[in-house]
Structure 1
């Protein structure tokens, strides 16, 4: 098996991709028009937008080709990551690197490939590629320039998606502030109304006509504001009685489980491994920050699948541990029945110096997945614990304060 190409700036490249914090399965519609346009410009039957992390090529948009993901080592787009220019293969079936790949030997029996890098902050995070079942296409300079413009627009939209998510988060925070304000004004307003009622009652005995009229106005004004506050709170309370509403930057355990099932079950099935995600019933609807969670969990799951032999299992346990009313710790455990680690291997991972090794199915290693995981966990002020016995699997436990 050929050694995979690894960019010299691979760690920085992965950090640029991680900073976008994308849900790879959630943006098909965001790029559908651009993938179709790319195929039309190139004159090819199919086109794809692919993002590549430590283990997997994720197809976030496709035209005329059913594909969601594939192992990074099987992809053609991994070669696009290596330079600033395009990458072309006139006949995949005649190239030693690709002639035995499933997309060449079986459906869709691809032959032609042309890929342009998607560059974010001077790092190639993926590729826009056009592919066809027939051999070499002639792409003149005008068509190539148009494809580069489309690739640039894809990058812009990726950035816009991040900005939009941040704006949604800010809007949700503003709504929470509104709720807090409503709570805060109830106390003083109730006091004013109570005082007005007291003075009004005393004033009737003392026949203070002018004071009574003035206090009556205070009472009416205060009551109207209090009614408004109650209206805001009652609307929020109706929502609170149901499952807590998630903000744009939040998951709960149910949503997180669904995301992981959808993204990583195909990888497990491809290797004939049982993949299970469990949640804690007691806390499965409580919101928590989704920041970098898919990147952390995804790299740990892909790593576990890589080192688990056929017929094995990978189990993910998700739990939200309550510290007090406002503080929680998100706990993720990824357990596999794979080859395991010795003490030296555990130390290199916890020290952030893990290197690449091949998986149980001969999968190529890139050596940056667990380094990235450790970096992201540290940036979120979390902890990573690893327990393992060589030959008897491993458990990676992540605890992230919320």
Structure 2
């Protein structure tokens, strides 16, 4: 495990990536790596606290595997590279499924994906079913590709931020144009009536027109004050989701795609429930996949085969106030001691083995606490040893996401 593991996980979470949506942007680099190395297979892997996520690949269709089963877990500990000439002759890997079964891998070469602060987010690796010898020139080119992968990940995050800002500006412009059209139209119409009637207007009629104009003017001023103070009305009607938004239905679909394979692998029932009255209301997706994903992975890790992990999603909608996203993850696992719960709530990470002997990477829950604190949210944990654990996350939504559409 890297000495800076918690810092490494924080750096990965800052990218706030959707691991299932990156292949199109990185596929060409994965193919290029395989061509340069002369291998049948190449992969771009990101490694969080418990899982290796394959975000682009060539020659081997795989989306994820347990971190403890991966070869790249060793690459992120190395400074520059990690090579295994024959996986079947290495005690660490000789019994792994990708060595003993199809495709029967033998050769591995990996280069860390280095963030700007020096943290290793994952690895670019090339693999083959027969041994290879990479020249120094090929090694150097693979390192250049690894740097370009990190550059692209950073660029994708920047583009996502810009897209979010543009979306918010466009929405504000649309709403202002819509809301201001009525009062202005009223003022113009009343002014036209006064002008057309000219001297035929009595003083009482003129005063009434002026009174109506004044009301329309106040409407515009109120709108301006509302915009300047950030609109905080609840969303009661829903428009299409923005690029920075989920609703409960979209989040449920994403979590099933990402974590159902882990449940199947461990023979655990995995269910997600939404609330019908609020399931279509948008909320911020900022850091959500990192927060919920780490909790779900941890729950599955400590739930034995035949057990169950349940996720309940909900949104508390409060008129004229902030909405609050509620996430509850409940498992039927081995439970957590009061001492361990206190460590988690203090943001401390410790290693503990799971129910099937999985290596523990307790830094994942420390990261969860860090991310929740950064979003001004709260984390509650209740557990009984031998009878499962429940995590409850509450995340306040910004006023701009509570407005009516």
Give TM class, smaller chain. Answer: 0.7 to 0.9
Matched position secondary structure for 1:108: coil
Question: What is the aligned partner in structure 1 of residue 204 from structure 2?
Answer: none
Does the CA contact (< 8 Å) of 2:76 and 2:122 recur in 1? yes
Matched position secondary structure for 1:282: coil
Distance 2:244 2:41 in 1: 34
Distance 2:379 2:236 in 1: 35
Change in CA separation of 1:344 and 1:387 when aligned onto 2, cut-off 3 Å: same
Question: What is the aligned partner in structure 2 of residue 220 from structure 1?
Answer: none
TM-superposed deviation, 1:196: 1.4
Q: 1:110 aligns with which of 105, 109, 113?
A: 105
Aligned positions of 1:2-401 closer than 5 A: 6-121=1-116, 122-135=118-131, 137-203=132-198, 205=200, 244-324=239-319, 327-401=322-396
How many residue pairs match? The answer is 363
Matched position secondary structure for 2:21: coil
Distance 2:318 2:163 in 1: 27
Question: What is the aligned partner in structure 2 of residue 234 from structure 1?
Answer: none
TM-superposed deviation, 1:84: 1.9
TM-superposed deviation, 1:27: 1.0
Worse overlay, 341-350 or 153-162: 341-350
Does the CA contact (< 8 Å) of 2:7 and 2:119 recur in 1? yes
What's the C-alpha RMSD, in Å, of the aligned pairs?
1.6
Worse overlay, 320-329 or 353-362: 320-329
TM-superposed deviation, 1:346: 1.4
Cα deviation per residue 1:115-142 (whole Å; 9 max; x = unaligned)? 000011211000000000112x111111
Does the CA contact (< 8 Å) of 1:88 and 1:113 recur in 2? yes
Distance 2:2 2:236 in 1: 51
Question: Runs in 1 of length 4+ with deviation above 2 angstroms?
Answer: 183-188, 240-243
Does the CA contact (< 8 Å) of 2:278 and 2:315 recur in 1? yes
Distance 1:125 1:90 in 2: 24
Cα deviation per residue 1:319-362 (whole Å; 9 max; x = unaligned)? 01112256211110010000012222211111112411100000
Matched position secondary structure for 2:125: strand
Does the CA contact (< 8 Å) of 1:172 and 1:247 recur in 2? yes
Q: TM-score normalised to the size of structure 1?
A: 0.88
Q: TM-score normalised to the size of structure 2?
A: 0.87
Change in CA separation of 1:106 and 1:13 when aligned onto 2, cut-off 3 Å: same
Does the CA contact (< 8 Å) of 2:34 and 2:40 recur in 1? yes
TM-superposed deviation, 1:100: 0.6
Distance 1:151 1:40 in 2: 14
